[in-house]
Structure formats: C-alpha cells, structure tokens
Amino acid sequence: MIDPNYRQGDAKSDPFGQDAMLKPAPVEKIPDGPTTPQVAYQMVKDETFAQTQPRLNLATFVTTYMDEYATKLMNEAININYIDETEYPRVAVMCQKCINIVANLWNSPEQNKWKTGALAIGSSEACMLGGIAAWKRWIERRKKAGKPYDKPNFVISAGYQVVWEKFATLWNIEMRQVPLSKEHTTLDIDAALKMCDENTFCIVAIQGVTWTGLNDDVEALDAALDKYNAETGNEVCIHIDAATGGFILPFIYPEKKWDFRLKWVLSISTSGHKFGLVYPGLGWVVWKDKQYLPADMSFTVDYLGAEVTQVGLNYSRPAAQILGQYYNFIRLGFEGYKNVQYNSMQIAKYFHEQISAFPEFVPYSPEVPNPIVTWLMKPEVQKDAKWTLYDLQDKLAQHGWMVPAYAMPVNIQNMVVMRILCKQGFSRDMCDELLHDIKAAVAELNALEYPTPTRIAMEKNVPLVSKSFNHTGK
Ligand SMILES: *Cc1c(COP(=O)(O)O)cnc(C)c1O
C-alpha cells in the first residue's frame, strides 16, 4: 500500500520524485494551486515527448529546420508583438523590407519605394486578403456601372487548399470548382473560363498544388483570360496562391512567367513558413500596384520615414518570424536560397526516380516542378494486393516517418495517393533511409496472407479517411 501522505516534495526534490508527478495532467479544470516550474515543464514536455521528430514529418509543408542563429534571433524576439509599431518601429520597417524583397522576387512593376503588400500569419490569411481585395474591386466596378453585386463568385481548380473553402463560406461567396481529371491534372483553363461570368471577380491559380505538387499554367491562363476579358468586357483577374511556388519559382525557374510579369496577375500570396524557410506563423501577400489594394482595407501610417500601408485580419501577431525571414534573406541571399531549393528539388527528383522503380508504384505525374512527390499504387497491383497505401502509412509511422496517404478530390476521389515534402533538413541520407524503410514495409505487406481492414474497406467502396493526418496542406 502506498501511503498518500508519505511526502509532498519541494523545490529540492527531483521532479520525478515529487507527488505532483504522480497526479494526472489537468484536463478540465485549472489546478487548485501552483507547482514548481520544473514539474510544470516536465509535465508539458512529457505530454509531447512521444510525438515524432518534426524533421521526420514529411507530411507538412511547413519549415521544420532553421539554423542556430535564426533560432536564437527568433527566440530573442519571442516577446515582441508585431502590432506595437510605435514601440518597435524597426520591426515594422524590417517587415516592409521583406515585402519589398518578396515583391521584387515576383517581378513587381510597382514604382513606389515601399511595395504594396501585407504580412500574414500564413498563406491562409494572405489568400483571404488577396481574395477580399479582388472581391472589393469587383464590387466597386459593379457599383459604378449601376449593376448588382450580391452574387460574387470565384473560380479555382478542385485541387484547392482548404483556405479557399473557408474564404467562400465565411464571406458568403460562391466557389466554382473546376474538377481535376486524369487528363487535366492541374487547372483546366477552358473549363475555368466557361465557369466565368460577370459576377466572377477572379480565378485563383495555384503554384504548388497541395494535393499533387504541380503548378497551374498561369501563362496560358493569362493569355486565355486576356482574350476572354476583351470579348466579354468582364475584368476577371488572377490571384496566385503560391503558398509553395512563391519561394521555389524565382530561384529554380526564373525564366518562367507566372508572376507580375503577366497582365492579369494582380495579387500573389505565399507562406514564408513553407519554402520561405521560416518556422510557422508567416505569410506574405503582394499586390501588383497600390491601386489594386482597395483603400478601405488599408491602414496607412507615416512614422516609418515614408507612408507605409498596412492590411491584415489579425491585430496582435508575433514579430519573431519577420526577424527569421529577414535573417534568411541576409544570410542566404539569392544564391543561398537557390542552393537550398536546388537541393530539395534534387532530392525530390531522386525520390521520384526511386519510387518509380518500385514495381508496385507509379508517380502521380512524370514531372517534379516543386520539391513534392506524389505517387499511387498501380491499379493492376492494387487489384490483387492485400494492402493499401494507408497500411504503408502506418508501417512507416512505426519508424517515425510521417508520410500521409489520402484520397484525391472530387471526380478522382477513388484515387489514393501518398506524398512526401522534401524540405530543407530532409537530407539525401534520410531519403535513402526512408526508401529502405518503404522497401522493407512493402515486402512485409506483400507477404500478408489476408487483406487488411483498409483493403477490405476499399473493396466495399467505403470512403477511406486517413486517421492521423490533415493532408490538406499541413
Ligand atoms: C499550405 C497552403 C495554404 C495554406 O497555407 P498556411 O500557410 O498553412 O496558412 C494555402 N494554399 C496552398 C496552395 C497551400 O499549399
């Protein structure tokens, strides 16, 4: 029998020798009294201890590795609220410098010293801001023309990230989805234009489609839209959701026109915390020129040595990410970003080649335009196999790898794919280890005598849902 009054423990006791460590962690109510920082630390730490190592999380697009100086800078700025610009004016200037740098990476034609853009908490907020601005510009045009503006819509491929569903639902806007198909693995431009009408305020083109890693063809879209607008008198513009591509294209494909070099591209958003190489909590949106940012969305301040325009959904927000982004720009420079992105691309291409060599698998696409590889089981193999990619996901998780399996969106929802993100921190050596673990797992699965539950469910056509992953962009 353990005596409950045996001892209480004090600050001198080892955390693991204290009473507090025998109590369950609070779930519903705040504990009655305090405990020591050591015990509190240990309890919080331990609760997250059994999770995977972030660098083994190949499901996420978000940065899981930064160097020591970046980490130090960000930790040192952890107590700074970005919105307190009066107190921390240099952070606001630094933010605006980052907007300038990003805008110029995307070939902004804007002549103003401070380019028109906004800091965001991620691409989701950045996409919302881009979308809202396009919607408001359309409202203005409709008002001027004396036409109704109560039925707005935008057009996007079904490979959209969930933020666009939120955008449509939260602001009561119709989202017109262009289905993906085996022939059209990215935005089908003809189909997209057929969906446009006078109430369409923009087409969203994606650079780095969350589900597949592919890029919509923006140059062709721009040309087709130019013709469409001339013929119809509509002014449908393009917002680019470049959550991934925004920091890949300028370094890897500088010749490729997808950005402000194109006529109808009026706004672009990206995640600083994806291939901008900064820890989570950072997004950017840039407009082609000040005139495309509706005045009532912006808040102008002039204490930065010039007029600086601010836009955002949130008020308070962390400043540390800005320091991390600006550090990366200085530390890496164009050449350094290119080196990092080049390596990620090379590792993705290597993985793509190796996974294609498995008799069981076929890549979703022959191309690897972003450091993302998506593959599926060959239909003829799946037919006789006793397992599915969901079982492979579970096997790999036993080795710590987070590699999601998921069903594709409407129209091709029967297709189950698997995907890895090759980010900074996923080395060639780790890639070989992963391939080794996949090989071993596939051998074990191939030796199964009876079908797995997911295989049986697939046979019965039960929609399969991955248990543990939010694949839609995280
Ligand atoms: C990740 C992603 C988003 C959402 O970005 P967050 O930075 O996670 O808010 C939006 N669009 C695409 C295409 C994405 O890949």
Mean pLDDT of 355-380: 96
Q: Which two tokens mark 377?
A: 């089981």
Check residue 310 and give its pLDDT. 76
Mean pLDDT of 240-258: 98
Band of residue 272 on the pLDDT scale cut at 50, 70, 90: very high
Check residue 428 and give its pLDDT. 96
Mean pLDDT of 289-303: 85
CA distance 161 to 195: 19
Check residue 7 and give its pLDDT. 67
With contact defined as beta carbons under 8 Å apart, do 234 and 228 qualify?
A: yes
* CA 148 to ligand 1 center in whole angstroms: 32
Q: What type of residue is 34?
A: P
C-alpha pair distances (Å), 161 with each of 157, 178, 377: 10, 13, 24
Tell whether ligand 1 has an atom less than 6 A from the beta carbon of residue 122: yes
Check residue 17 and give its pLDDT. 87
Q: Which two tokens mark 317?
A: 């927000």
Burial of 245 (0-12, 13-18, 19+ CB in 10 A): buried
pLDDT tens per residue, range 150-178: 999 999 999 999 999 999 999 999 999 99
pLDDT tens per residue, range 49-80: 888 889 999 999 999 999 999 999 999 999 99
Testing ligand 1's pocket by substitution, the residue of 129, 163, 284 carrying the most ligand atoms inside 8 A of its CB is: 163
User: Greatest CA separation found in the chain?
Assistant: 87
* CA 127 to ligand 1 center in whole angstroms: 8
Residues facing residue 215 across a β-bridge: 207
With contact defined as beta carbons under 8 Å apart, do 369 and 256 qualify?
A: no
Mean pLDDT of 415-430: 96
The residue whose CA has the least distance to atom 3 of ligand 1 is 123
> Which residues are CB-neighbours of 94 under 8 A, at least 6 positions away?
322, 323, 326
pLDDT tens per residue, range 384-422: 999 999 999 999 999 999 999 999 888 888 899 999 999
Testing ligand 1's pocket by substitution, the residue of 124, 215, 239 carrying the most ligand atoms inside 8 A of its CB is: 124
* CA 73 to ligand 1 center in whole angstroms: 25
CA distance 358 to 131: 42
Determine the atom of ligand 1 nearest the C-alpha atom of 273: 7
CA distance 203 to 138: 13
CA distance 300 to 161: 31
> Which residues are CB-neighbours of 142 under 8 A, at least 6 positions away?
148, 149
Inter-axis angle of helices 428-446 and 389-397, to 10 degrees? 120
CA distance 242 to 249: 9
Cα–Cα–Cα angle for 170, 247, 163, nearest 5°? 10
CA distance 159 to 153: 17
Q: At 110, which helix (H) or strand (E)?
A: none
Give yes or no for residue 467 having a pLDDT over 50: no
How high does pLDDT run on average in the chain? 92
pLDDT tens per residue, range 188-227: 999 999 999 999 999 999 999 999 999 999 999 999 999 9
Q: What DSSP state is assigned to residue 147?
A: -
> Which residues are CB-neighbours of 370 under 8 A, at least 6 positions away?
207, 208, 213, 214, 215, 244, 245, 248, 345, 348
With contact defined as beta carbons under 8 Å apart, do 244 and 30 qualify?
A: no
Give yes or no for residue 90 having a pLDDT over 50: yes
Q: Which two tokens mark 450?
A: 């009876």
Cα–Cα–Cα angle for 448, 453, 459, nearest 5°? 95
pTM: 0.93
* % of the chain surpassing 90 pLDDT: 81
First to last CA, the chain: 48
Tell whether ligand 1 has an atom less than 6 A from the beta carbon of residue 128: no
Closest of 191, 110, 200 to residue 157, by C-alpha: 191
Check residue 473 and give its pLDDT. 44
Q: What type of residue is 51?
A: Q
* CA 167 to ligand 1 center in whole angstroms: 13
Tell whether ligand 1 has an atom less than 6 A from the beta carbon of residue 163: yes
Strand 174-178 and strand 153-157: the pairing is parallel
* CA 146 to ligand 1 center in whole angstroms: 36
